[in-house]
Structure 1
Amino acid sequence: MKNNFNYFLFLIACVLCACSTNKYQQHLENKKPLGKQPNIVFILVDDAGWGDFSCYGQEKFTTPNIDALAKSGMKFNSHYAGSTVCAPSRSTLMTGLHTGHSPIRGNKEVKPEGQVPIPADIASLPKMMQSKGYTTGMFGKWGLGYPGSEGAPNNQGFDEFYGYNCQRLAHTYYPLYLRHNGQKVMLEGNEEGGQKEYTHHLIHDQALNFIDDNKDKPFFLYLPYTIPHAEVVAPEDSIFQHYKEVYPKGKPYINKRNHNPNLTHEQRFMMGTYADQEFPRAAFATMMHHLDISVGEIMDKLKEHGLDDNTIIFFSSDNGPHSAGGADPKFFNSNGPFRGIKRDLYEGGIRVPMIVSWPNVIKKNTETDHPSAFWDVFPTLADIVNADIDAKANIDGISFLPTLLGEDHKQKQHEFFYWEFHERGGSRAVRIGDWKVVQNKLKQPEKSKVEVYHLPSDPGEENDVSAKQPEIVKQGMELFKSARVPNQTFRFPADNI
C-alpha cells in the first residue's frame, strides 16, 4: 500500500512539472502574462576555457557547484562566445549583434580609464529588462564604456553597478579602487601594494546583497566575474596551500614592471600590470576553487529566499583560456579537445561552456548539440520575459528558448556564425552548418590562407580540407564580405580586400 501511495505522489509531481512547462509554452504562444516573472541570473566568467570545469572534462581540480548547476539543467556542447577577447565578446552579449555588426569589435582603450563606449541609442539587453519591470544589477567587469560615457553601465540599463568599469584595471585583484554607480570606492587595504581586499570577494558579496535587497521583485543580475583572467593571483589561504602541495610548481611568472624603481604602485595599477606569481598553477586552481564556491553561494542565496524555483541561471565564459601572467592552459588542458586559446578563432578560442538551469521548465541533466552564440542570448531573454525587440535593432541572434523547453523541432537554426578579430594582423571565421572556415594574417595577403574544417569529424581542426571543398571556400569568402559592415572606430584589414 505504501509503495502504491508513493507511486501516486510521483505521478502527481510529474503532472505538476508538465503543467508548469505547458503553461510556459502557452504563455509564449499566446503572449499572455504568466504571473510572477522569473528572475534572471547571468554568470559570465573571464577567460575560462571549455576544459576548465569538471562537467566539461577538467581532471586536475573539481568544480562541484558548477557541476551541480549543469545537472540541474541543460549543458550546451556547441555554444560560442561573441569574440576571442573580452570587450567585443561582451558587446555581442549586450546587443544581440555579432562582431560584423556590433559597435565594439576590439579592445580599444580610452585613457585614463575605460574602453570605447557602446552608443547611447543601441538596443541593449539590460535596457530591455528594465522595460519589462526588472530591477537590473551588474557586479564585475564592464569594459564597454569609460566612466560617465554613454556606454557606462548605469547609462545602458543597469540600476546598480559595482566593480571594474575599465577592463585594464581589472588586471589586478588588489586594485586601489572599484566603482559603485560611477563613483570611486577606495580600497584602503590595497594601498601601496597591500593585499587585504581581494576584489572577487568584494564583488561577489555585493551581488549577494543585491539578491537580498530585491528578493520581492523580479531582477536581472549580470555577474561578470573577473576570475580566472590574469593576473594569476589568489588569496594565500588553505586552499592555495593545498594546491601548492598537489601540483608541480611550474614556471614562476615575473613581470619586469614590478621591479622598475621608476614606476609607482599607482602607475603600475593604471597600466594594468600583472603581479609576479611564484606558483601560477596553484594560484590558478585556487582562483577556480573560489569561483566555484561563489557559484554555490549564489544558488544557496536564491534558495534561502525561496527564489530558486523561479530563477533562471545562465553560466558561460567570454572566450577561451588565456596564457597570460603565468597561466598554463596546456597543463590544465583548459581548451579541452579544441585547437587554440584566447585570441584564436579556432574552436579553443571561441567555443565556451554554457549551462542553463530553470527548475520545472528545463529538464534536469540534459545536453544539447544545438549551435548557438552570445548574440542569441538577447532574443532568448526577450522571449522569456515577453519583450518585443525593436525591428530597427536588426539583431543577429535567434532565440534558443525552444531548445531549453525541449522543443527541438521548433528551434530555428542559424545559416551561419561569423567572427572577426582585429589583433595579430586580423583574422576572421565563419561556421556554416558542420563546416568552419578560418582565415588569419589578413594584413599579409600573400601569407593569408583560407582553411576549412569539418567539425563533426575534426573538432580539433587538425585537418584542413580546403583543397577538397572549393564550394565551402566560396561560401565562406562570400560570407566574409556580406556578413559585416565597416566600422570607422574599428578598422579591419578586410575592409580593403
Structure 2
Amino acid sequence: MQINPEKLSLAGCLVSAIAATTGCQPQQQKAWQPNVIYIMADDLGIGDIAPYGQTRIHTPNLTRLQQRGMRFTQAYAGTAVSAPSRCSLMTGLHTGHASVRGNIGVDPEGQVAMPEGTFTMATMFKQSGYATGCFGKWGLGYPGSVSDPTKVGFDRFFGYNCQTLAHDYYPDHLWNGTERVELPQNYEQQEVTYSADTIHSQALDFIRSHADGPFFTFLSYTIPHAELILPHDSIYQRYCEEVPLDDEIPFVQKRPEKKGAYGSSERPMASFASMVTRLDKYVGDVMDLLDSLGIADKTILIFTSDNGPHKEGGARPDYFQSYGPYRGIKRDLYEGGIRMPMLISCPGHIAQGVDNDHVMAFWDMLPTFAEAAGYRGQLNTDGISFLPTLLGNGKQAEHDFLYWEFHEQQGKQAVRLGNWKGIRLKVGTDEPVFELYDLSNDIHEDNNVSDAHPDIVARLQAIIDSCHTESELFNFGRK
C-alpha cells in the first residue's frame, strides 16, 4: 500500500494509538548506566544460527556471544513483519497499542510515520545522558517526517530511512541523519559499495568515538533480508563449494522497474548462508572492538532478529530449517514467525553460558533498559523489566499474557497465556477462525484443540478483544 506523504501531515491524528510520552527531565543521579548495543538482524530465523541448532551455516561469533552471556529460549518479536515489530521495540508497546502496526509505504520513499512526539527507547536514553546512534534500516517514517530517527531521540543516524529501498544492497544513496548521501559508484546498476559493509563501518566508528560512554547503539542490519546479493568474496566462495549446485533454484528478477524489486541470484542458498556468516562477522567485529576498548564489561550487548525467516528473492527457509523446531515464517503468528533468537551478554554482570526460559517480548526492552540506565521518568509501556533476570538478583515480574496482531493476509491476532497459544485468523472477514494450541506438548502447533477447550478459547478471545485499540490506518484490511 502506498500513500502520499501530504496526507500524513497530521500523522498523530491519523493513527489511533497509545503513544508513550513523558514530561520528565533528565536525571541528575544515575545508577549503573551501562552502554547498550542492540543488534537486530533482518528476517533471520531462530534456526539460522548455531546457538539455536544450525549446523550448516557457520556462526562462530554468535556461538562466542552465547558462551559469554545468556541464551533466551522464549523471546518474542513485536510481530511477524518489520516496521510494526520495530515500532514495538522502540516504543515499548505491543501491536494492539503501537501506532505503526503494518508496512505502509509512502512515496517517494519511506513508511508511515509514528505520531509527532512519540517517546522512544532512544528518547529515554538521550534524556538519561546517553549518546544515541541508529545504523541500518529505520522504516518508521519517511525522510523529513516527524519520526525521522533524529527527531525521536537519535543523535546520529546512518542507513536506509525506507525499508523498501533497503531491498537493494547496492543503492544509489543512503541517509546520514537528514542528509542524502549519494553513492554514484552504484549508479546504473554498478555493484561497488555494499551498503551493509558501509553501515557496519559507520557503526563501529560511532562506538569508538563514544567509548567513554554511556552510549546506546541500535545496529539495525538489513542482512539476511532479500535481495540475496553480496560480494563474491571468500565467504561466498566457501558456500558455493558447500551448498551443492543441484540444490540451488536460481532466482530471476521479474520486474526490475518496481521499487524494491529483488535482484537476481544464481546461488540463492549459498548467498543466504554467506549473508548470515557475514552478519556473524559483524557481531565478532563489535565484540572484538568492545574488548580492545576495554568496555565489554560496561556494555550490554544484545543480538536478535525482527521477525521470522523469509521466503523472498529465492530464499527457501525449509532448506536450512530456518524456523528451527517451530511452525511458520515471516508474516505468521505461529511460533516460527515471532519466536526470536535472543543472546545477551555483559561480562561480570550477566551470567555466562547459561540458558534462560523467561518469557519476554520486544516491548520489555524499554523498561529493562530504563531500569539499567537509572531512568526515573514515567513510562507508558506494555513491557516489564527483565533486568532482575539478566543480573540474577531481585524478584522477576512475569507477564500475565503476550499479545500480537498482524494486518496483512486478512488480519491475524495471537495471544500466549502460560502454555496456551490462541491464534485468530481472517480477522478482517465476517468469518474469523480461532485456533488453540498447548505449547507444553505441541511446540510445532500442529494440533488445534479449540473444540476441546471452549473455556480457554473464551478466555483468550476476551484478552484479544481487550488488547486491540482501534486504528484508522491499521484495521485488518477492512474497508
Q: What TM-score, normalized by structure 2, do the two folds share?
A: 0.92
Contact 2:167/2:262 (8 A) holds in 1: yes
Is 2:392 the partner of 1:396? no
2:334 matched residue in structure 1: 346
What are the equivalent positions in structure 2 for 1:415-494 lying under 5 Å apart?
415-446=400-431, 448-492=432-476
What are the equivalent positions in structure 2 for 1:51-200 lying under 5 Å apart?
51-200=47-196
2: CA distance between counterparts of 1:342 and 1:438?
A: 15
1:220 matched residue in structure 2: 216
Instruction: Pick which of 352-361 and 436-445 moved more.
Output: 436-445
| 1:181 Cα offset (Å) | 0.6
1:406 matched residue in structure 2: 392
What are the equivalent positions in structure 2 for 1:313-328 lying under 5 Å apart?
313-328=301-316
Choose between structure 1 and 2: higher helix proportion. Answer: 1
Instruction: Pick which of 206-215 and 372-381 moved more.
Output: 206-215
| 1:33 Cα offset (Å) | 4.0
Contact 1:162/1:180 (8 A) holds in 2: yes
Is 2:276 the partner of 1:292? no
Is 2:322 the partner of 1:334? yes
Contact 1:234/1:284 (8 A) holds in 2: no
Post-superposition CA distance 1:18-47 (Å, at most 9, x none):
xxxxxxxxxxxxx97446x31110000000
Contact 2:371/2:387 (8 A) holds in 1: yes
2:299 matched residue in structure 1: 311
| 1:388 Cα offset (Å) | 2.5
What are the equivalent positions in structure 2 for 1:2-81 lying under 5 Å apart?
33-34=30-31, 37-81=33-77
1:28 matched residue in structure 2: none
1:244 matched residue in structure 2: 240
2: CA distance between counterparts of 1:34 and 1:414?
A: 25
Q: What is the letter of the counterpart of residue 464 of structure 2? A: F
Contact 2:428/2:476 (8 A) holds in 1: no
130 and 32 in structure 1: CA distance in 2 versus 1, 3 angstrom threshold: closer
Q: Which has the larger radius of gyration?
A: 1
| 1:389 Cα offset (Å) | 4.0
2: CA distance between counterparts of 1:427 and 1:389?
A: 34
Q: What is the letter of the counterpart of residue 251 of structure 1? A: I
SS at match of 1:40: strand
SS at match of 1:329: coil
1: CA distance between counterparts of 2:428 and 2:349?
A: 48
1:363 matched residue in structure 2: 351
| 1:369 Cα offset (Å) | 0.7
| 1:340 Cα offset (Å) | 0.5
Post-superposition CA distance 1:425-474 (Å, at most 9, x none):
1111000111000111223333x321110112111001111111111100
Is 2:207 the partner of 1:207? no
Q: What is the letter of the counterpart of residue 135 of structure 2? A: F
Q: What is the letter of the counterpart of residue 328 of structure 1? A: R
Q: How many residues align?
A: 450
SS at match of 1:170: helix
Contact 1:419/1:428 (8 A) holds in 2: yes
Q: What is the letter of the counterpart of residue 207 of structure 2? A: I
Post-superposition CA distance 1:156-191 (Å, at most 9, x none):
100000000000000010000100011111112211
Q: What is the letter of the counterpart of residue 199 of structure 2? A: I
130 and 396 in structure 1: CA distance in 2 versus 1, 3 angstrom threshold: same
1:9 matched residue in structure 2: none
SS at match of 2:145: coil
Post-superposition CA distance 1:221-268 (Å, at most 9, x none):
00000000000111111211111111123111112113xxxx4xxxx5
2: CA distance between counterparts of 1:59 and 1:461?
A: 24
Instruction: Pick which of 222-231 and 436-445 moved more.
Output: 436-445
Q: What is the letter of the counterpart of residue 317 of structure 1? A: S
Instruction: Pick which of 212-221 and 327-336 moved more.
Output: 212-221
Contact 1:436/1:453 (8 A) holds in 2: yes
| 1:143 Cα offset (Å) | 0.2
| 1:303 Cα offset (Å) | 1.3
Q: What is the letter of the counterpart of residue 306 of structure 1? A: G
Q: What is the letter of the counterpart of residue 251 of structure 2? A: Y
2: CA distance between counterparts of 1:182 and 1:248?
A: 45
Gaps of 5+ in 1: 1-30
| 1:304 Cα offset (Å) | 1.4
418 and 157 in structure 1: CA distance in 2 versus 1, 3 angstrom threshold: same
Aligned residues: percent identity?
49
SS at match of 1:158: coil
Post-superposition CA distance 1:109-136 (Å, at most 9, x none):
1111101111222221001000011000
2:14 matched residue in structure 1: none
2: CA distance between counterparts of 1:389 and 1:202?
A: 36
Gaps of 5+ in 2: 1-27
1:281 matched residue in structure 2: 269
Q: What is the letter of the counterpart of residue 44 of structure 2? A: A
SS at match of 1:326: coil
Q: 2:290 aligns with which of 296, 302, 305?
A: 302
